[in-house]
Each structure stands twice: as structure tokens, then as C-alpha cells.
Structure 1
Amino acid sequence: MFIDVAKIKIVSGKGGDGKVSFHREKYVASGGPDGGDGGRGGSVIFQVDDNLSTLLDFRYKKKYVAATGENGGGKRCKGKDGESLVIRVPRGTLLRDQKTGQVICDLSDDEPYVAAKGGNGGWGNTHFSTPTRQAPRFAKPGQPGVELDVILELKLLADVGLIGFPNVGKSTLLSMVSAARPKIANYHFTTLVPNLGVVSVGEEQSFVMADIPGIIEGAAEGAGLGHDFLRHIDRCRLLLHVVDVAGSEGRDPLDDIEKINQELAGYSEFLAARPQILVANKVDLLGEDRAPVDRLRAYAEEHGLKFAEMSAATSQGVTELMRLTWDELRELPPVFRYEPEFVPEEETVSERDWTVEQVEDYYVVSGAWVDKIMASVNTDDYESRQYMDRMLKNAGVYEKLEAMGVKEGDFVVIGDMEFEYVY
């Protein structure tokens, strides 16, 4: 089954918590703090795998979570870092943010991409020892991982795309010039998925060609199969517009050309401007009548298009077409790559990231910075409470409370804890 779009959630690992520990050894009095740091959480990494050609695996598994870092230990032992999670995808996969649709990364090369970094490990109580605080009974928790809802969108990496109405000979042409073996039959929509083939035109002269399932009128609005697969010619440097010059199915070749180009323009103005070679196929069915070919050639000249005639069934003109295609590709820029658009939210937490509001008889202090401070406080330890008091005072929390009219004995909620306010 060919799947080219998938929605998944990725979650990097939480960092391990720092350890509160004190050195204990015979004949060593007051050994001091020796709590180790927590390990870093595992990251979520995307890696291109050329053995994959579809996003089928992501149809059944929707959430990918990296390992959590281990907590720190005594004797200054650092916790083990969490193992990163490597997600393998086909070459040409776009990583997008679900909320905005913005491109996070174009996975078209061999470099791994870290989509979600693991959280930092928390500090052990060793870091908080000072001449005046020699036995700190608190440590920092590990930082949470990153959660991200993403869209995986596969856009095939091909130099040349075969476009045209169904049953005009695109699959036959691909099978003639490459080792690809697409299904071929004399009915519409024989090709249900894009097919890729490598075309060799000489020593160290080759390119990738894609046979795109038949595009019909209304494809840009979702009609037929074309809407699902138009994305796969987004990257093509050159389009071979294949036409049934003999009109064997009762259609006008020039009308077919106009309709296909309208669908390309409806999908993307950049796609509509892509260079094309107009290919008149099935010339073997014309016999001595050259008028249909001359009519198409005149159309191509009028619109500034390269023109070729051939018969995929008999191989007539196929070699000449591939040589013309190679000559055109040499003048064109490389395969298009998408630039990142998505800007991740700032990971740092400022001392200004807190608010105070009065809810009935309570004053509630909340915010990311407050949560971070309270998570590192041991309320059973006097020095730890002093640390909390100093941090809140320096950040202006107490000043804000008093400006709002807090009185001695009023209840103040900070994070998950409730205190009675005293001067």
C-alpha cells in the first residue's frame, strides 16, 4: 500500500532528576553533598532510508517517544543519558508542523535531523554547596522533553515527471527506458501509485524519471487520482507532457494539453511554470497521416515548448527523446529543496514568566518560571526554603503581591503549594 501523508506525535525524553545525597564514609565526618546530575533525555531523530518508498509504517503507529534520562546517584554519579529514538523515512519526505503547516525540515539528504531535543538533566545538590550553605537538601529536576505534532509528507525526488491523461502511454515509456516495471493495461487508472525509474543515456549520464498516476480534469480540486499525486511532481526539474497524438480514445490532443496545464496551474503556479517537453505518442497509429503531428508541433512552437514524437509501443523515437531530455536537464538547476519555515518556541524560561491573580480569598502565583523554581525546592529543608524565598523576592513576586493588597495571614498559592503570607 502506498501512503504518502501521515500525522504523528513525537516526544523527546525528559531529563533525569538531580540527586540529593551526602558523602557517608567511616572516619569521615561531615563528608558534604555528593548528589550527581541526572542524565539527558533522548532526542527524536529523523534519518533518510533509501530502502523505504512509502509512509505505510506511520499509518498504524502514531506516537513516538524517546527514552527518559536516568536520575543522578550518590557519590557524584551522573545518570545515564536516555537513548535517542531514530525514525527512518523515505528520501524526499517533508516534515511539517501540524498547527501551522510550516516546513520544519526537508529530509532529502543523508544528514540526520534532530526534530526534538531531549530535556537536560537536573543538577544534583553538589552544585548548590556554598560556604554558608554547606549541606543543601535540594536538587534540580530534569527538564521536560519536547512534544511536537508533525505531518510527514512524501514528495518523490525525481528529475523528470511524466504527466498526461490516463492511458496515453506514460507507463509504457517508463518501462522502455528504465528497469521499472509498472502495471500496463489498456484502461484508465492502471497506474495507482507513482513509479520511479533510473534512465541511463550514457556513461555517467543518468536521471530519475517518475510516472505520475493519470491527472484528469478537476484533479486540482480533488477529482480522480491526480489530486493525491500532484505533490510528487513538485520537485521535478522537467516535465514530459505525453499526449495521444492519434486521439485513439476520441479526445482532442490540444484540448488534453490545455486541461492538464490548467490543473497544474490550479495546484501551484510554480508547477505550471516548470519547463515541459511536449511528447506526441502513438505516432504508429497514424500511418501516413502527418497532420496531427504537425498540428502539435505548431502548438509547441507557438508556446515555446520543445517537441518530440515517438511510439512507446514500437520504441520509435524513444532514444532521441531521452537524449533531448538529458540535454535539457543539463541546463536546469538541481532538484528543488524546501527551506525550513518553522521556528520552535523559545525553550528558555525568563524570570518574567509569572503572573499573580486574586481568586476569591487566594492570591495565585503561576507561570513556567514559578513551576521551575518550586520543582527544585524541598520545603522540609530550611535552606531550601530560604533559596525559594530569595528567588521569589528577587523576581518581584512579593512586591507584586503587596501592590495588590495582600495582608498578613492571607493565603498565597505558589505552584502546587499553599502558604500563609507573613511580613
Structure 2
Amino acid sequence: MRRQGFDPDPELAAVRAQPGLTKVPTPYGRDAWLVTRYDDVRDVLRNAELFSYGHGINIPPMSEEQAKRLKAGALLMMDPPDHTRLRRMLTPEFTMRRIRRLEPRVREIVADHLDAMERAGAPADLVADFATPIPSLVICELLGVPYADRAAFQARSNTLLDFNQPPEVRGQAQMASAAYMGELVARARVEPGDDLLGMLVRDQGDEVSDAELVGLGGLLLIAGHETTASMIGLGTLALLRHPDQLDLVREDPEKVDGMVEELLRWLTIIHSGAIKVAAADTEIGGVPIAKGDAVVVSLPAANRDPALTEHPDVFDITRRDLAHVAFGYGAHHCIGAPLARMEMRIAFPALLDRFPGLREAGEPVFRSFNVVYGLSSFPVAW
């Protein structure tokens, strides 16, 4: 999880360049094979039957009953067929057609926050004033979560994702998050609204349990605001520190899509997938992997692999057709990827157009040892 500014730890590149694999310690008390090469990472992620999530090692220490309840609906730690069944329920809400219907509202939210920044005047904290509230408000409206609760759920998610916190503290945050979502699910069962939770209750109510709804809602709430917020904050810093690339976007707005994809690849804010376990004896990159061995993939190392693209450590928004793994790969490819892309394609140009003189106004604070890499604060002026 260590980073050096925008870059993965140099040790990852060294491990990737060596033949074979290496074992690394994990926060869960066991070693895991570290997979860093692009092709190997995709092989592991595409094979959900051979490399399984269903072993319970990704949840902070808690009772077996608590772990079972919290794991229900947690798509990132589920295997087919349960994963397939639940993901299929969500898929209609994340089609490009549905996402396009959200665009006017996202543009309105972005404009409202830019207006507020302009009224308050410089300096501003881009993280607190722009990067975080926009995806938070979008996912709250999509799920039917009261936006007034955002400070509380953001505090819980920050604790849950922060590996500087003791495991028992992270476990308590996870249980508190589940209890909060349980209240929302109970409310939706009685009076389903037009939001995603309401839709699941109305359309799939007999096929999905309350525990599964809690898991699905909790995952979407955390993933829906933490990841996009980090990308907007860290991505803006990357653009300001690469003025040649920023000029390309200013001169040609058609390059925004390429810019977003390159930011996703180059930053890769998710360090790894959840730890998997080999369901049978196998091999990765020629290295024997025994049944029961833990395996963890490094997404930043894979996206900086020369096998994916030339000069991978260079930030270059003119790259084309890169099949990066910033959103994962295979059955567990991020279901919210279209929404995240849409939010970034709207937020970045709007920010740069409103404040053409945007600049750093202090030292940004990088967030380390967190599941989602990003900035804690980012002072800007214009």
C-alpha cells in the first residue's frame, strides 16, 4: 500500500521485473503470493472459480456470526453463483442508458459546488469543497441515503478503510456501517422509494434478504463516494503538476475521455483486490500455487507494466485503447465504473473551465496506508 506521491512503491517494479512471484505479509495475519505482472493479474482476476473470495480472511476480527452477516451482499468478497445472482439485480441500474439519465443532475451538482467555491473565494480545500461532496451527493441520491448523514457515514468509511487503525476498531466501524444501512433497508421495506434500494425491494424483494441488501447498499455507498472523490482530488493535482497534459485538454476538449482513462491507469487508487485463496493446486506465471494459498494482486503494478503500454511511468493522456485494470477485471469488474467515468468527465472540465487559473495554494496531504489512495486535503487558489 505504500506510495511515493503519484507512483507505486519502487519495490513493486523490482518485484515485477524478477522472474517468479514473492510472498508478502498481509494485515490479516497470513502471507500471500503477490502478483504484479499485467497478464498474471488478469489471469487471477478472470478465474473466479480457481481463485476464490469465499474464505472470510478479508473481514477484520469478529465473531463467526457477525462475519457471516456482514459478508452477505458484499460483492467484492463473494464467488459465483451468489455473486452472479446479486450482481444481475444491480446491473440494470448501471447501464449506460441509466447513467446518461443521471448526467443533468450530476452537472447541476458540480455547478452548485463550483458556485459555492467561487462565492467563498480562494483559497479552498479541493477535497472538502469539491472532490468529496460531489460523488457523495450523487451516490446518496442514487441509493436513497439522506445526504445529511454524510459526515457520519464518511467518518465510518474512513475508519474502515484506514489500515493504520487497529483491526478491532475497523471491525467496529464495519458493524456500525451495517447497522446504519440496516435502518435504511428496514425503512425501504415498509415504504420503497424511487431510489436503488427501493427498486431492489419492489422488484427483487422476494429474492434478496435484508442482510444482502445491507451488504449491497453499504458497498455501493462506500465505493461510490470514496473512489471517485479520490480520483477527482488526486487527478486534479496530477494535471496541475503536468501542465503540458493540462494544456492538451484545454486546447481540445475531445481529449477528456483519454485524460480520464490515463488518470485511472496512472494513479490506480485501489492498491489491490481483496485477498483470494487458491481453490486447487495451480500455477501463476510458472510458479506452483498450492490449494489454500492466499493470493493478492497489485493493480498499480499491473497498470505500470511495460507489457501494457510503452513508457508506463509517464503520464500521457494521448494513449489509446488501454485495457487497464483500475476497475478490476472479470466477474468482479467494478459495476459502478460507468458512473465514476461520467462523474469525472463532467467534474474535471467544469472545474478547469470555471477556474482557468487554478493552482496549488499549499502542500497537499497524501492519505497513506488506506484501501483507497488519495489526498486528505488539497489547498487551491485561482
TM-score under structure 2 normalisation? 0.19
Larger % of strand: which? Answer: 1
TM-score under structure 1 normalisation? 0.17
Which of 1 and 2 has higher RCO (CA within 8 Å, sep 6+)? 2
Larger % of helix: which? Answer: 2
